[in-house]
Each structure stands twice: as C-alpha cells, then as structure tokens.
C-alpha cells in the first residue's frame, strides 16, 4: 500500500531519508508538495490542506532535531 498525506510520520521519515539538508524553518508548502511527489511510494492525488502539510513539516523537524520539549512557562521565567 502506498503512502498518502495522512501517513504523517512515515512521510516525514521518507522525506528525511531523501532530503536531510532541507531547511525546514522556511520550507514553503509548494516546495513540500514537490518533495513529497518525488517519493516513489507516494500515491495520493488529493490536495492536502495547510494544517496537514504543516503537520508533516513538524514531524520532519522532530526527526531532524530530536529534543526534550522546553519546560518553559512554568512560572517566573521569561
């Protein structure tokens, strides 16, 4: 079975395998669609909404930079 836009985590893994140097702090949604189209296993013709694409980018960012979430906002801190 091929990949589709709802396979957020798997899509992010595949993208990182292929394009590890992508600067995700500025990646545009149009560019993401092109990168996703380049994945052989991807066979989804639907047009994703912004939230879905942003979810893929967020998942991809956490693969690039695994880190403990910041414990901020706990009080007298900033």
State the minimum distance, in angstroms, from the CB of residue 45 to other proteins.
18
Q: How many residues bind other proteins (CB under 8 A)?
A: 36
Kindly tell me which of 37 and 69 has the beta carbon lying closer to other proteins: 69
DSSP string over 5-54: TT-HHHHHHHHHHH-TT--TTT--HHHHHHHHHT-TTB---SPPPHHHHH
Residues that bind other proteins (CB under 8 A): 1, 6-7, 9-10, 20-26, 51-52, 54-55, 57-59, 61-62, 64-78
């Amino acid at each position: 079975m091929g990949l589709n836009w709802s396979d957020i985590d798997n899509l992010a893994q595949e993208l990182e395998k292929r394009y590890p140097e992508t600067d995700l702090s500025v990646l545009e949604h149009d560019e993401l669609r092109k990168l996703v189209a380049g994945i052989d296993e991807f066979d989804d013709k639907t047009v994703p909404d912004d939230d879905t694409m942003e979810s893929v980018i967020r998942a991809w960012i956490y693969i690039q930079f695994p880190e403990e979430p910041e414990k901020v906002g706990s009080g007298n801190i900033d």
